[in-house]
Amino acid sequence: MKFGFFALSALALAATGCSKETVSSANIRTKGIAATIVVTGSASGSSEVEATLRVGGDESNTYVMLEGGDKLVAKAAEETKDMHAESEGVYLAQFATNAQDTPFTVSLLRGEDEDAPDNTVSLPAPFTIGALPTTSPSRASDDLTVTWDPATGGDSMRMEVKGDCIFSKKFSIPGDSGSFVIAKGQLDSTGGSEPKACDLTITLWRTRKGTTDIGLDRESSIEASQRRTATFTSAP
């Protein structure tokens, strides 16, 4: 009886507001846990596995705290690590690899309910962002071509551009051709009639989807990305 009662209570909490709530995993069935799992490879050669656990779906504000013998275990190739709590409902593990096609598995192991061990994904190929301008291109007047190498033509790409003088901008990049043009006028200045120069940081992700265990909430997901950043100075 305790599983059903607390699962319904958590769902009610998730629907009532935006403040963060927590619930013990000891009171939630495996099927009621939505796991959002992200593996991120970095330019340093390492990878981070992050798992966020919620009840009430992947957009809920009710987070699951692992208790009562429950735990998350991450595996990269042949190395296995227990994941540690970074914050309420968020669990991390670090691995010293970012190699292409490295298989990752994240397992939810339960003390009292069914395990969910089959959350799997593999890393896409690492890449390097090409040289960015050493001069200061104008956001209003100049196109900016961003390149990366190698191009795979397969995995999905996305980009985000941030800076103190612009509103952050996200781009979905069709295909993986190795280049993308930020057209002039696409980056909006925060300065109104007095736009300013500033450093802009470009972040690129190459991403592929994995498969989640059928024992989890159906809104669970797992994906793996290679993430790279580069900075240049822009003029208005």
Taking only the tens place, the pLDDT of each residue in 26-47 is 999 999 999 999 999 999 999 9
Q: What is the mean pLDDT of residues 121-126?
A: 98
Check: CB of residue 127 under 8 Å from CB of residue 89.
no
pLDDT tens for each residue of 104-115: 999 999 999 999
Residue 164 CB contacts under 8 Å (≥ 6 apart), including other chains: 190, 198, 199
Looking at the fold, whether 118 and 139 belong to one and the same domain comes out as: no
The dihedral of CA 96, 66, 117, 124: what is its sign?
A: negative
> Do residues 94 and 170 share a domain?
no
Q: CA 211, 217, 223, 228: dihedral to nearest 10 degrees?
A: 180
Q: What is the pLDDT of residue 18?
A: 61
Domain CATH number, residue 169: 2.60.40
CATH of the domain at 60: 2.60.40.10
**Which residues is 186 bridged to in the sheet?**
none
Average model confidence (pLDDT) for the chain?
93
152-192 pLDDT, tens digit each? 888 999 999 999 999 999 999 988 999 999 999 999 999 88
Amino acid at 47: S
| Domain of 190, in residue numbers | 128-206+228-234
- 140 and 158 together in one domain: yes
Q: What CA–CA distance (Å, rounded) separates 87 from 195?
A: 38
pLDDT grade, residue 19 (50/70/90)?
A: confident
171 three-class SS: strand
Tell whether 193 and 153 lie within a shared domain: yes
pLDDT of residue 174: 86
Domain co-membership, 120 together with 35: yes
Tell me, yes or no, whether 168 and 91 share the same domain: no
Query: Do residue 105 and residue 43 come from a single domain?
Result: yes
The rounded distance, in Å, linking the Cα atoms of 162 and 148 is 18
| Same domain? 80 vs 174 | no
DSSP of 77-139: TTEEEE-EEEETTEEEEEES---TT-EEEEEEE-SSS--EEEEEEE-----EEPPPPSS--BT
Rounded Cα distance, 230 and 79, in Å? 31
Same domain assignment for residues 109 and 214? yes
Q: Is 179 in the same domain as 218?
A: no
Across the range 9-19, mean pLDDT stands at: 49
**Region at 101 (left for phi over 0; alpha for psi -120 to 50; beta for the rest):** left
Total structural domains within the chain? 2
Amino acid at 52: T
> What pLDDT was estimated at residue 98?
97
Tell me how far apart the alpha carbons of residues 234 and 134 are, in angstroms, rounded to a whole number: 10
Q: Same domain for 135 and 165? A: yes
Same domain, 199 and 213: no
CB atoms near residue 135 (< 10 Å): 9
Q: What would the pLDDT profile of 51-106 be if each residue is shown by its tens digit?
A: 999 999 999 999 999 999 999 999 999 999 999 999 999 999 999 999 999 999 99
